Each structure stands twice: as structure tokens, then as C-alpha cells.
Amino acid sequence: MVFRFLIRYLANNEHLVQKLSESYPMRRAAQLVVRVMFHGKNFIEENRLHEKLTPEQFKTLMRDIAENFQKQIKQTQENLQRKMKQ
């Protein structure tokens, strides 16, 4: 309950949201998301996967991509933690 209130307060704080949006990590994360979206779209269009895949196959492909992306994020976090300890 308290956590939900705190998140709602922080999300509705315009000054905080503005500062966060101007920070390097948030800008970089947004750039990466857009990059992944455009590369994925181009990959699908170039290989004509939208014509070949059934909806179930497409869901499986997207799930695999999302899992791979999460693994890469976790690996990057671990690498950063190791570097910070050194």
C-alpha cells in the first residue's frame, strides 16, 4: 500500500519526471528501446516473416526475443556491478 502511494506520488511529480527524462540513463534506455523496435521491424520486413509466421509462431518469436533481451540486461547489470566493485 505504501509502495503504491510512493510510486503514484513520484510518477505525478512533474519536476522529478522532467529531471529523470533529461538524465543520461533514461535517454539511453529510450534510445535502446527505439533501436530494438526499428531493427526488429526491419528484420521482420526484410525476411517477410509477417507473411510466413502464424500468430502462435510470432508470439513464440517475440517471447524468445524478450527473454534474450532480459538476459542481456541482467548480464550488463552484473558487469556494471563487477566494475563498480573493482
Judge if 85 and 63 occupy the same domain: yes
Written as nine digits, the cell of 31 is 534510445
**Domains in the chain, number:** 2
Q: Is the dihedral of CA 19, 25, 31, 37 positive or negative?
A: negative
Judge if 47 and 57 occupy the same domain: no
Reported pTM: 0.49
Judge if 7 and 28 occupy the same domain: yes
| pLDDT tens digits along 28-85 | 888 988 988 888 888 878 878 777 778 888 788 888 888 988 888 888 888 888 888 8
Domain of 86, in residue numbers: 53-86
Choose among 81, 72, 2: nearest CA to 36. Answer: 72
H or E segment and range at residue 77 = helix 55-85
Judge if 69 and 35 occupy the same domain: no
Judge if 57 and 47 occupy the same domain: no
Written as nine digits, the cell of 72 is 542481456
The pLDDT score that the predictor gives to residue 11 is 84
Judge if 17 and 37 occupy the same domain: yes
Judge if 48 and 65 occupy the same domain: no
Packed helices 24-46 and 14-21: angle between N→C axes, nearest 10 degrees? 60
